[in-house]
Amino acid sequence: MKVALSLLALLSTTACTPSSLILSSARNEYRILNSDSMRQNVEKHLGAALREERITPPVPLEDFKFPEYRSGPDSRFTSHRVYYSPGYNPPPEERQVVAVHCTYRSTGKIVPHGYAGDAAAVTLMTLGLGEIITLPMAIGEVTPDASIVNDFEVWYSTKGRVLAYYWTWRSEKEPIKKADPVDTDNGGAAPHRV
């Protein structure tokens, strides 16, 4: 019993919990797209681009206007500017230019960035007891599911470095949900339901 409690205390004070190890070893967003990712790495994980658009002339990243996207009612959405945040004025040697925009589609689960850290945090905050919940959730998150469709739009620098991306994913198993109709008599707001 003493050994089990010691092991539980050790696991709860490190980031090496079983659930976080499972999530970090799976196909995950950070491994595919991060500030050090190059186009070759992205295409190794997502396959060849479905569409490629050259941006001519290339635009400095700090001046580039990324399109606004919102997820549809049947998908989840994430957006990242991975190289540097809006408003940051980089030194000349770090300046990047947006030169290429590519679209990709991939099937199967991809673990979103941060899930492994979240699992470790839950385990730490609950002194190991959270692993009872996070371990089955981690196993479910990495279980293969070919019905998941991932759509990526990625912007690259002239050297092929990932600068920003949009990612939406949805399950083809779930029925497509319809957006709430817009009530023009109510100032464009969604209709009130009683």
Least confident of 38-42, 81-85, 88-92, 94-98: 81-85
Write the DSSP symbol of residue 92.
G
Structure confidence by residue, pLDDT tens digits, 153-184: 999 998 898 888 888 888 877 665 544 444 44
What 8-state DSSP symbol labels residue 141? Answer: H
SS3 107: strand
* Model pLDDT for residues 97-140, shown as the tens digit of each residue: 899 999 999 998 887 777 777 778 888 888 888 888 888 888 88
Domain boundaries, the chain: 2-175
- The rounded distance, in Å, linking the Cα atoms of 19 and 139 is 8
CB of 31 within 8 A of CB of 114? no
Give the global pTM: 0.70
